[in-house]
Structure 1
Amino acid sequence: MPELPDVEGFRRVLVSCAKGRVIRRVDVRDTGVLHGVDARRLRDALEGRRFTEPERHGKWLLAHTGGPTLLLHFGMTGRLLCAGPDDAVQAHDRVLFDLGGDRRFRYRDQRKLQGLWLADDDSAVARLLDRQGPDALAVDREDFEAALCARRGHIKTALTDQSVLAGLGNLLADEILWRAGLHPGTRAADLTESERRHLYTQMRRTLRSAVTAGCVPPRDSWLTGHRDDPDPACPRCGTHLRRTRQAGRGTVWCPRCQPDGG
């Protein structure tokens, strides 16, 4: 599932592939990924426009044009790709953008759980993102701590709640909590000031490494690198990893490194 580092990677794809280029043609192959806009209106709004500097907020990518903004959300299986004019269109390529010359970019998504929105102006962008919390990569420590103090539920649930903090998904939340030595079932409001500060530090470090990699990397030294092993063990202490579900999400942790204090 694309999380903040993946979407930051897609932002870079958009910069390298499309920034400064005129949208010659918008080819909607599947209207099922369009939200609040039909194919004709999307074409009329974007064709002839030029992509400017894109932004990312959490898991959302904002493709600005100096007029309307195209907002993309990648759900479970979405991707953004730069393609050449002769590259074959794949079955899951839902919307294609012809930028002239040798540049095309494509929104590809197998399961179509999210998709594309169109905002006519900045106020429309703000309305679409109204329920998003601060971006996890940009939030300062004070706002981060305040957001956690206001939550009554488990820390894992708080970290993956996009209205609390935008950008963290299941893999990142488990990785950050493991690095911080916090059990995922710990109540967010029960964290001490020291624990909140340590959690913020580990979140920043994890995000910086993951953004550089363009994903949550399955490195041997990371929890992510072992969570899907047949007999997963903690890369720090070798203890057998535990699994459970929280709010419908598969959760993995080390009982030794992340003891349950409750």
Structure 2
Amino acid sequence: MPELPDVEVFREVLESCAQGRVVRRVDVYDAGVLHGVSARRLREALEGRRFTGAERHGKWLLARTGGPLVLLHFGMTGRLVCADAGEAIDAHDRVVFTLTGGRQLRYRDQRKLQGLWLCHDAAEAARLLERQGPDALAVDRDAFEAALSSRRGKVKTVLTDQTVLAGLGNLLADEVLWRARLHPALRAGDLPQPDRRRLYTHMRRTLRSAVIAGCVPPRDAWLTGHRDDPDPACPRCGTHLRRTRLSGRTTIWCPRCQPAGS
């Protein structure tokens, strides 16, 4: 599932492929990924417009045109691809923007759990995103601590709640909690300040490393690198990792590094 680092890569793809280029044609191969807009309306709004920039908030990507904005969310399997106009269309290419210079920007998604929204202006885009919490890479420590201390839910659930903090998914939350040596089922609001500060520090460090890698990297020194092993062991202490489900999400943790009473 694309998380904040993946969407940051998609932002870079959009900028390198499309920024400054005029949309010559919009082809919608599957209208099931369009939300609140028809294929015809999307074409009318964007053809002849120029992509002027992109920004990310959490797992959302905003593409600007100097007029309407395109908001993209990638669900579990979505991605942005830059291609030459002559390349064959992939079976999972749902919307294709043909640009000046012979390039195409393609929204590719196998499972189609999210998709594209069209907003007339920045105010409409802000309303669409108003329930999103602060971006996990941009939030300051005080705001992060305040958000956690006001929540009664389990810390893993709170970290992945996009209305609390935008951008963290299942892999990142497990990784950050493991690095901070905090059990995922601890109550967020009960964490003492030193734990909240340690969690914030490790979240920032993990996000920076993951953004550089362009994903949550399955490195040997990371918890992520072992969660799918047949008999996963903690890369820090060698203890057999535990697996359970919290709020419907598979959760991995080390019982020695992250004791329930920590």
**TM-score, normalised relative to structure 1:** 0.99
Post-superposition offset of 1:102: 2.7
**After superposition, where does 1:148-227 map in structure 2 within 5 Å?**
148-227=148-227
1:101 deviates by: 2.2
Kindly provide the amino acid, as one letter, of the partner of residue 107 in structure 1. Y
Name the counterpart of 1:108: 108
Q: Matches of 1:173 and 1:250 in 2, distance apart? A: 11
Larger deviation, residues 100-109 vs 176-185: 100-109
Kindly state the Cα deviation for residue 157 of structure 1 after the two structures are TM-superposed: 0.2
1:74-153 equivalences under 5 Å are 74-153=74-153
Deviations 1:91-141 (A, max 9, x none): 110000000223111000001000000000111001110110000000000
Q: Which residue number corresponds to residue 6 of structure 2?
A: 6
Q: What's the offset of the Cα at 1:59?
A: 0.2
Query: How far apart, CA to CA, are the structure 1 residues paired with 2:174 and 2:124?
Result: 33
Match of 2:253 in 1: 253
Structure 2 counterpart of 1:87, which letter?
E
Shift of 1:53: 1.5
Alpha-carbon separation, structure 1, partners of 2:66 and 2:136: 26
Q: How is 1:33-112 mapped onto 2 (pairs within 5 angstroms)?
A: 33-112=33-112
Name the amino acid aligned to 1:215.
Answer: C
Amino acid paired to 2:10 = F
Distance in 2, Cα, partners of 1:162 & 1:171: 14
1:199-219 alpha-carbon deviations (Å, 9 max, x no partner): 000000000000001100000
Q: CA RMSD for the aligned pairs?
A: 0.7
Aligned-partner residue type, residue 185 of structure 1: A
Give me the whole-angstrom Cα distance separating, in 1, the residues matched to 2:184 and 2:23: 45
Q: Note the alpha carbon deviations across 1:130-176, whole angstroms, 9 max, x for none.
A: 11000000000000000001100000000000000000000000000
Partner SS state of residue 24, structure 1: strand
- Structure 2 residue matching 1:48: 3-state secondary structure: coil
The separation in 2 between residues aligned to 1:177 and 1:17, in whole angstroms, is: 36
What amino acid is aligned across from residue 102 of structure 2 in structure 1? Answer: D
Q: Where has structure 1 moved over 4 Å in runs of 4 or more? A: none
> One-letter code of the match for 1:30?
D
Distance 1:123 1:168 in 2: 25
Alignment partners' CA distance in 2, 1:137 and 1:255:
28
CA distance in 1, matches of 2:86, 2:229: 39
1: CA distance, partners of 2:237 / 2:50: 52
AA partner of residue 233 (structure 1): A
Give TM-score, length-normalised by structure 2: 0.99
5+ long unaligned stretches in structure 1: none
Distance in 1 separating the partners of 2:150 and 2:103 = 47
Quote the Cα distance in structure 1 between the aligned partners of 2:218 and 2:20.
34
